[in-house]
Amino acid sequence: MGRKTNADETHGFASALKRGISTRTVALTLTALFALAWAGPAWAKDAAKAACGTEVVATSSGPVCGVAENEPGRSGVEVFRGIPYAASVAKEFRWTAPRHVEPWRDTKVADTFGATCPQSGLFAPGEEDCLFLNLWRPAGTKADASLPVMVFIHGGGFYQGAGSDPLYNGGLLVKDGVILFTINYRLGALGYLAAGDVAGGNYGILDQQLAMKWIRDNAPAFGGDPERITLFGESAGAMSIGLHLTTAPASRSLFSAAIMESNLLGVPYRSLKAGQDEAALFMAMAGCEDIACLRRMDIASLQKQSDGFRSSAGMMLPDHLAAVNVWAPVIDGVHITGPALPVPADTPPKPIIIGHNGEEGILFLAPFEGHFPGPMYAGWLFALFGGDFDKALKVYPGKVDGKEDAIAAGVKVFTDYVFACGSREFAASFPDARLYEFTQKPNFNLIPIPACAGQPCHSYELPFVFGNADLVEMADHKMGAFTHDEVVLSKAMRTYWTNFAKTHDPDRGEPVKVSWPVAGESNDYVLRLDSPISVEAPTDAACRMWREIGYPAGG
């Protein structure tokens, strides 16, 4: 779901937009090949040269240069912000497959992030011309460096988020000898309405695939190795990667390894029919009879309809678990051939890291606080798991330490089924998989949910993966700061992640204090990311019960 929820849960993260939002780059007509040899006015070349902080890189879209990363403590890093990887998807191009951007010939100085995609909340309102990517690399990286590439896909429930979030700044991560890309992709109804030119929708997934192709093709020009591309992402980003790994055929050749942080594997995806039925309902609620009507609608009104549909889905859609992500990929049989779990037998055996946070469920149960009396608990389980609710009720009886506490029990149910046990079930199908659980209790509160204060809530591992607590305004409106122990943990996590990108083994590369064993069907070794880090081999009866109920659940 990402680190923010909906608009009324958003607080003043003013620092998130401190660099502003750019308008789209003007596309010119000549190819990148001709751009390098272009004999234009000397003043134009001189102006670009003066603004560039890096050498000019010849990409398939046109020449581009970056600037020095200027965030404190992140010197020695170059950043390229706001490179368009696709043409505009506005107006008549809403609900169409993404198209290659028209090549430009002038050197683009990539010093400003591109527009975020339309959404509400932290990055609102965004613009429809939003398909941009960003990259960080060690200063002075040459085209022949062949550094491993990491591609981060942001979370946000498929309805919000951006690759330009300060939380994802790559200034510390790339110091370990990698190149980092972050991307934008279409969100909400614009990204996942099962209508328009693509039968099942999945426009956001197609955007991701086009970005991945652009990165594979252009990685060598930036000093990256196209044979060592690791996808990593959190929440909706991890869900996307799970599909790229298993049931999105066009994605398989575009990356070599994957890291999934908090993949909601217990949340089912919509079938093509369900997606198309919901698209018809969305149009009716928006006062439209066809997609042409939606394309004529102004973006503010369309975004309001998208948000309204998402917020009311819980009482409209029959599958309560699927309603967790109303705007999400659809199993269309072409671009996405099935769910990620059960893992299909023909899935390539790529190395993976997958894990979750210790208190994932708090974010999802927080809206029920004060409105979830004990008698409703069994009904909630029935809504999620149908006739199997009684099995869940025996393992999670709605009490904690002998006292009635439906919220705490619900948090445990959601954390175990959707995240923890789902991750173990997924990892069991890969010969080279590593499991983790992030249990560190941060000294800061990333999102404005009081129950998350001091708890390893959903998305709370992200400041540690990127090392960027100091770049993010927290729920108390103060910038984050790590304790000494948190600095040590963050550095260790960055080392595991970048070692994996380099060698596909988190233990090989930079030294680590705790070896991370491969997970196996008989003993699901889990790396406990805490202060200190440890390894456990849990034997959990709850996961056996969830395996019997199955993925997806029958409720």
pLDDT greater at residue 166 or residue 50: 166
Q: What are phi and psi of 526, to 5 degrees?
A: -125, 130
Active site residue 262: no
pLDDT greater at residue 12 or residue 169: 169
Structure token pair of residue 128: 């429809």
Domain boundary assignment for the chain: 1-140+170-227+268-339
Residue identified by tokens 């456990």 is: 536
Q: What is the pLDDT of residues 85-133, one digit of tens each?
A: 999 999 999 999 999 999 999 999 999 999 999 999 889 999 999 999 9
- In the predicted model, is pLDDT for residue 318 greater than 80? no
Q: What are phi and psi of 434, to 5 degrees?
A: -130, 135
- In the predicted model, is pLDDT for residue 225 greater than 80? yes
Task: Give DSSP secondary structure letters for 300-329.
Answer: HHHHHHHHHHHHHHHHH-S-TTGGGGSS--
| Whether 136 contacts 146, CB under 8 Å | no
- Compute the chain's Rg from CA coordinates: 23
Q: How far apart are CA 509 and CA 489, in angstroms?
A: 17
Write down the catalytic residue from 61, 120, 235, 256.
235
pLDDT bin (cut points 50, 70, 90) of residue 46 is very low
Query: How large is the greatest C-alpha to C-alpha distance in the chain, in angstroms?
Result: 79
Q: Determine the average pLDDT of the residues in 479-488.
A: 97
Task: Give DSSP secondary structure letters for 24-47.
Answer: PPPP-SS-HHHHHT----HHHHHH
Type of residue numbered 149: V
Structure token pair of residue 340: 């990620």
Alpha helices (H) in 252-373, listed in sequence order: 272-285, 291-296, 299-316, 361-365
| Whether 352 contacts 257, CB under 8 Å | yes
- In the predicted model, is pLDDT for residue 532 greater than 80? yes
The candidate with the shortest Cα–Cα distance to 327, out of 273, 256, 279, 392, is 279
pLDDT bin (cut points 50, 70, 90) of residue 49 is low
Structure token pair of residue 549: 């109920």
Instruction: Assign residue 82 a region (left: φ > 0; alpha: ψ between -120 and 50; beta: otherwise).
Output: left
| Whether 398 contacts 374, CB under 8 Å | yes
Q: How far apart are CA 381 and CA 298, in angstroms?
A: 40
- Percentage of the residues of the chain whose pLDDT score is greater than 90: 80
pLDDT bin (cut points 50, 70, 90) of residue 376 is confident
Q: Determine the average pLDDT of the residues in 525-543.
A: 91
What integer pLDDT is reported at residue 133 of this predicted model?
A: 98
Q: How far apart are CA 196 and CA 95, in angstroms?
A: 5
- Give the contacts of 421 (CB within 8 A, at least 6 positions apart): 266, 540, 542, 543, 546, 547
What integer pLDDT is reported at residue 16 of this predicted model?
A: 32
| Number of Cβ atoms within 10 Å of the Cβ of 197 | 12
Q: How far apart are CA 550 and CA 530, in angstroms?
A: 30
Instruction: Assign residue 441 a region (left: φ > 0; alpha: ψ between -120 and 50; beta: otherwise).
Output: beta
Could you tell me the sign of the dihedral formed by the alpha carbons of 23, 24, 29, 32, in that order? positive
What integer pLDDT is reported at residue 45 of this predicted model?
A: 42
| Number of Cβ atoms within 10 Å of the Cβ of 252 | 15
Residue identified by tokens 């199997």 is: 388
pLDDT bin (cut points 50, 70, 90) of residue 404 is confident
The candidate with the shortest Cα–Cα distance to 141, out of 53, 212, 62, is 53
| Number of Cβ atoms within 10 Å of the Cβ of 329 | 30
What average pLDDT is seen over the chain? Answer: 89
Lowest pLDDT segment from 90-94, 224-228, 368-372: 368-372
What integer pLDDT is reported at residue 521 of this predicted model?
A: 55
Q: What are phi and psi of 504, to 5 degrees?
A: 65, 20
- In the predicted model, is pLDDT for residue 343 greater than 70? yes
Most confident of 41-45, 263-267, 523-527: 263-267
Q: What are phi and psi of 106, to 5 degrees?
A: -75, 150
pLDDT bin (cut points 50, 70, 90) of residue 322 is confident
Beta strand 433-438 pairing with 352-357: parallel
Q: What is the pLDDT of residues 412-463, one digit of tens each?
A: 999 999 999 999 999 999 999 999 999 999 999 999 999 999 999 999 999 9
- In the predicted model, is pLDDT for residue 226 greater than 80? yes
Q: How far apart are CA 43 and CA 540, in angstroms?
A: 68
Q: How far apart are CA 325 and CA 242, in angstroms?
A: 15
Alpha helices (H) in 356-506, listed in sequence order: 361-365, 374-385, 389-395, 406-414, 421-427, 462-466, 484-503
The distance from CA 546 to its chain's CA centroid, rounded to whole angstroms, is 25
pLDDT bin (cut points 50, 70, 90) of residue 368 is confident
Type of residue numbered 155: G
Q: How far from each other are the two terminal CA atoms of the chain, in whole angstroms?
A: 22
What integer pLDDT is reported at residue 537 of this predicted model?
A: 85
The candidate with the shortest Cα–Cα distance to 555, out of 268, 210, 229, is 268
| Whether 229 contacts 149, CB under 8 Å | yes
| Whether 444 contacts 474, CB under 8 Å | yes
| CATH-assigned architecture of domain 1-140+170-227+268-339 | 3-Layer(aba) Sandwich (3.40)
Q: At what angle do helices 272-285 and 299-316 cross, to 10 degrees?
A: 120
What integer pLDDT is reported at residue 520 of this predicted model?
A: 73
What integer pLDDT is reported at residue 403 of this predicted model?
A: 76
What integer pLDDT is reported at residue 360 of this predicted model?
A: 97
Structure token pair of residue 99: 């198209």
The candidate with the shortest Cα–Cα distance to 245, out of 324, 346, 328, is 346
pLDDT bin (cut points 50, 70, 90) of residue 257 is very high
